[in-house]
C-alpha cells in the first residue's frame, strides 16, 4: 500500500541510528514517519548478515512512501584497547607507576599488555594515555620499543579490554582495519549511500577509503581526533561530508573546547560546501526517559542555529526505550527553531564566498532572488547533485526540490540541508523543464496557484556540469490537469 508523507516542515535533516530497539521493518517505518530523513547502520555492532535485512527494510520504504531513502554505513575504525587482568579488574592509585608492555601475560596493579605496536613507535614522554573513555589518565614518563612507563594522574577501577585514547600524538595507523575493509566492501555491495570513516587523523587517511568505494557511495569523515583539527580544511576538502563526532572528541580534548570546535567544523564544512552532521549524546537522557532535559534540547537547537545540515541520534534510537519519541522530539525542536524569526539571520553568520563559477553564482543568486520575490521553492534539475549541494550551502529560506533521474543522487541528498529529492525522468527541452517543475511543485505541495518558483538547470540537458540557467516562473494551478496524481 502506498502512503503519502508530506515534505518536512523543517530544513535540518535527522539521521537516526538503527539497532536492537529499531531494526524491525515496522519500527524503521515508524521512525521515518516520526521524522527520520536518513538511517545510520553502525558496523561496530553485529555481523554483516544481520545488516542485510535492515538495509532491505530501509529500501522498502521507497515503495511504500514513493520517496528515496538514505543509508549511512558507519565503519568502526581502529579500536585501541588494553589487555586483560588476572582477576579481570584492578584499581589504579593516583601517583603510582603503571607500565604498558607487549607481554601477553594477564596484567596486575603494576602492568598490563598493550597490543598495539604503533603506539610504542609514536609515543613520547609527557603524552597522555586516556583509559575507559577518559575516566583514567596516565602520563608517559619513559618508554622503549616494548614498554611504556607512566604515572597515574587520575586513578580508578580498570577492567579487561577497556578502551584507550592517545590524544597527544599522531599514530602511524591507517584509518581502515581489515574489519573495516570487509565492512566497506559489504556496504558498497549492499548499495548504501554514504560511508562514514572513523579515526581520521589526516587527509591521507581518506585516500584508501575513496579508492575502495570507487564512486559507488559518498564518503563522510568523522572528526573525532585532535590531530584532525590541525588539518581540518584539508580533510574537509578531501571528503563529501563531515561528522562532528563529539564522543571521542570530548574524550581526547577538554570538554569545554568541544562547543567552539563544533562551530568551527560546521563553519569550515559550510564554507567548503560539504554537508555536516552533528552527533553524539544529543538527547542522551531519552535512552531511558520519554522526555529530554532542557539542556539537551538547547544543545540540539544550538546545532541547528549553527547551520548544521543534519543532527544525529545514536543510542537514543538504536538501543533506547523511546526511539520514535526521540526522533519526534528532534523533529519538534527543528521545527520550533526554524520558526524563530531570528533563525535565518543566525545561520548566515557564516560568510559563504562563492567560487568564481557559473554554478556557484547561480546558486547564490537563487537564494537572493527567492528572498526578494518571496518564492515558494527552488527547483534544481541535476544528475550528479553538485548543483543541489551548492544551493543548499547558501541556506535559502525556501524548500529545495531536487529533480534527478539518478537514484543514487536522490538518495545521497538525504543529508543535505533543506533538500527534498524526487526521482524522475530527465527532460529534453526548456519547455518540458518548466512544465515538470511546476507540476512537481504542485504535486508535492511545495507551491500553490499564484506562487513563483525558481528553476536551476543546465543546457544542453543531460550534460553533467553544465549548470547555466536560472529561471523564475509563476505556478497557475492548472499544471496537474491531464496528469495522474
Q: Which domain holds residue 212?
A: 13-77+175-339
Residues 54 and 160 grouped into a single domain: no
Residues 6+ away with beta carbon under 8 Å from 20: 318, 319
Residues 297 and 329 grouped into a single domain: yes
Residue 474, exposed/middle/buried by CB under 10 A (0-12, 13-18, 19+)? middle
Calculate ∠ Cα 165-170-172, nearest 5°: 100
Q: Is 222 a catalytic residue?
A: yes
pLDDT of residue 50: 93
Q: Is 425 a catalytic residue?
A: no
CA distances from 192 to 39, 131, 180, 213, 348 (A): 10, 34, 15, 11, 32
Task: Confirm if 81 and 216 have CB atoms less than 8 A apart.
Answer: no
Residues 197 and 328 grouped into a single domain: yes
Residues 188 and 276 grouped into a single domain: yes
Residues 186 and 146 grouped into a single domain: no
pLDDT of residue 485: 42
CA distance 128 to 11: 41
The catalytic residue among 150, 280, 382, 467 is 280
Tell me the pTM: 0.92
Residues 198 and 312 grouped into a single domain: yes
The catalytic residue among 11, 51, 111, 222 is 222
- Domain count for the chain, please give it: 3
Q: Is residue 267 part of a domain?
A: yes
Residues 453 and 369 grouped into a single domain: yes
> Which residue, 139, 165, 191, sits at the end of a domain?
165
Q: Is residue 206 part of a domain?
A: yes
Residues 200 and 56 grouped into a single domain: yes
pLDDT (tens digit, 0 to 9) for every residue of the chain, 485 residues total?
678 777 888 999 999 999 999 999 999 999 999 999 999 999 998 899 999 999 999 999 999 999 999 999 999 999 899 999 999 999 999 999 999 999 999 999 999 999 999 999 999 999 999 999 899 999 999 999 999 999 999 999 999 999 999 999 988 888 899 999 999 999 999 999 999 999 999 999 999 999 999 999 999 999 999 999 999 999 999 999 999 999 889 888 888 999 999 999 999 999 999 999 999 999 999 999 999 999 999 999 999 999 999 999 999 999 999 999 999 999 999 999 999 999 988 988 777 777 788 888 999 999 999 999 999 999 999 999 999 999 999 999 999 999 999 999 999 999 999 999 999 998 889 999 999 999 999 999 999 999 999 999 987 776 666 788 899 999 987 777 655 44
pLDDT of residue 71: 98
Q: Is residue 344 part of a domain?
A: no
pLDDT of residue 482: 57
Task: Confirm if 270 and 306 have CB atoms less than 8 A apart.
Answer: no
Residues 144 and 238 grouped into a single domain: no
Residues 6+ away with beta carbon under 8 Å from 482: none
pLDDT of residue 483: 57
Residues 6+ away with beta carbon under 8 Å from 226: 167, 168, 249, 252, 253
Residues 64 and 97 grouped into a single domain: no
> Which residue, 306, 339, 372, sits at the end of a domain?
339
The catalytic residue among 81, 84, 264, 271 is 81
CA distances from 93 to 108, 155, 164 (A): 13, 5, 18
Residues 190 and 302 grouped into a single domain: yes
Task: Confirm if 366 and 409 have CB atoms less than 8 A apart.
Answer: no
Question: In this structure, what are the phi and psi dihedrals at residue 371, rounded to the nearest 5 degrees?
Answer: -70, -40
CA proximity to 470, closest of 353, 352, 364: 364
Residues 185 and 271 grouped into a single domain: yes
- Secondary element (H or E) of residue 358: helix 358-373
Q: Is residue 310 part of a domain?
A: yes
Q: Is residue 320 part of a domain?
A: yes
Task: Confirm if 401 and 420 have CB atoms less than 8 A apart.
Answer: yes
Q: Which DSSP string corresponds to 39-71?
A: EEEETTSS-HHHHHHHHHHHHHHHHHHSS---E
CA proximity to 12, closest of 295, 285, 343: 343
Task: Confirm if 383 and 464 have CB atoms less than 8 A apart.
Answer: yes
Query: Omega before 5 cis (within 30°)?
Result: no
Task: Confirm if 65 and 32 have CB atoms less than 8 A apart.
Answer: yes
> Which residue, 282, 308, 339, sits at the end of a domain?
339
Question: Which CATH number goes with the domain that contains 33?
Answer: 3.20.20.60
Q: Is 270 a catalytic residue?
A: no
Q: Is residue 237 part of a domain?
A: yes
Task: Confirm if 338 and 38 have CB atoms less than 8 A apart.
Answer: no
Secondary structure tally for the chain: helices H, strands E? 17, 21
CA distance 112 to 109: 8
Question: Which CATH number goes with the domain that contains 150?
Answer: 2.40.33.10
What is the Cα gyration radius of the chain? Answer: 24
Q: Is residue 349 part of a domain?
A: no
**DSSP character for 240?**
S
CA distances from 180 to 61, 210, 247 (A): 27, 13, 20
Question: Which CATH number goes with the domain that contains 450?
Answer: 3.40.1380.20
CA proximity to 327, closest of 37, 25, 6, 8: 37
CA distance 30 to 65: 12
Q: Is residue 205 part of a domain?
A: yes
The catalytic residue among 10, 40, 225, 412 is 40
Q: Is 280 a catalytic residue?
A: yes
Amino acid at each position: 500500500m502506498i502512503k503519502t508523507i508530506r515534505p518536512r516542515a523543517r530544513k535540518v535533516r535527522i539521521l537516526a541510528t538503527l539497532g536492537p530497539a529499531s531494526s524491525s521493518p515496522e519500527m524503521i517505518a515508524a521512525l521515518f514517519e516520526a521524522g527520520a530523513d536518513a538511517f545510520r547502520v553502525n558496523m561496530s555492532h553485529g555481523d554483516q548478515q544481520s545488516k542485510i535485512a535492515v538495509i532491505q527494510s530501509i529500501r522498502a520504504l521507497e515503495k511504500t512512501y514513493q520517496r528515496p531513502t538514505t543509508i549511512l554505513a558507519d565503519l568502526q575504525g581502529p579500536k585501541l584497547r588494553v589487555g586483560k587482568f588476572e582477576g579481570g579488574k584492578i584499581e589504579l592509585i593516583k601517583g603510582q607507576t603503571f607500565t604498558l608492555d607487549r607481554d601477553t601475560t594477564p596484567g596486575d596493579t603494576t602492568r598490563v599488555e598493550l597490543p598495539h605496536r604503533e603506539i610504542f613507535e609514536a609515543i613520547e614522554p609527557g603524552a597522555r594515555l586516556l583509559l575507559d573513555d577518559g575516566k583514567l589518565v596516565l602520563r608517559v614518563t619513559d618508554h622503549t620499543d616494548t614498554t611504556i612507563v607512566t604515572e597515574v594522574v587520575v586513578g580508578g577501577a580498570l577492567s579487561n579490554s577497556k578502551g584507550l585514547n592517545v590524544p597527544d600524538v599522531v599514530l602511524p595507523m591507517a584509518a581502515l582495519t581489515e574489519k573495516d575493509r570487509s565492512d566497506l566492501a559489504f556496504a558498497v555491495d549492499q548499495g548504501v549511500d554514504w560511508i562514514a570513516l572513523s579515526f581520521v587523523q589526516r587527509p591521507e587517511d581518506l585516500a584508501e577509503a575513496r579508492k575502495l568505494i570507487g564512486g559507488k557511495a559518498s564518503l563522510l569523515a568523522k572528526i573525532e581526533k585532535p590531530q584532525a583539527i590541525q588539518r581540518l580544511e584539508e580533510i574537509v576538502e578531501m571528503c563529501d561530508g563531515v561528522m562532528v563526532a563529539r564522543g571521542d572528541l570530548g574524550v581526547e580534548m577538554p570538554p569545554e573546547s568541544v562547543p567552539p570546535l563544533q562551530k568551527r567544523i560546521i563553519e569550515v564544512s559550510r564554507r567548503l560546501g560539504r554537508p555536516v552532521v552533528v552527533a553524539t549524546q544529543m538527547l542522551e537522557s531519552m535512552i531511558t526517559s520519554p522526555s529530554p532535559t532542557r539542556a539537551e534540547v538547547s544543545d540540539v537547537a544550538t546545532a541547528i542555529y549553527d547551520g548544521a545540515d543534519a543532527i544525529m541520534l545514536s543510542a537514543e534510537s538504536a538501543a533506547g526505550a523511546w526511539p520514535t519519541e526521540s526522533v519526534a522530539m528532534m523533529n519538534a525542536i527543528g521545527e520550533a527553531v526554524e520558526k524563530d524569526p531570528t533563525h535565518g539571520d543566525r545561520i548566515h553568520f557564516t560568510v559563504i564566498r562563492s567560487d568564481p563559477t557559473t554554478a556557484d553564482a547561480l546558486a547564490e543568486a537563487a537564494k537572493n532572488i527567492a528572498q526578494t520575490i518571496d518564492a515558494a521553492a527552488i527547483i534544481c534539475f541535476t544528475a550528479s547533485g553538485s548543483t543541489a549541494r551548492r544551493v543548499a550551502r547558501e541556506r535559502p529560506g525556501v524548500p529545495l526540490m531536487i529533480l534527478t533521474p539518478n537514484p543514487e543522487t536522490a538518495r545521497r541528498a538525504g543529508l543535505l540541508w533543506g533538500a527534498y529529492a524526487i526521482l524522475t525522468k530527465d527532460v529534453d527541452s526548456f519547455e518540458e523543464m518548466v512544465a515538470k517543475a511546476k507540476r512537481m511543485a504542485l504535486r508535492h505541495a511545495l507551491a500553490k496557484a499564484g506562487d513563483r518558483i525558481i528553476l536551476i538547470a543546465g543546457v544542453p540537458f543531460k550534460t553533467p556540469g553544465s549548470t547555466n540557467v536560472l529561471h523564475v516562473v509563476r505556478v497557475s494551478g492548472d499544471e496537474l490537469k491531464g496528469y495522474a496524481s
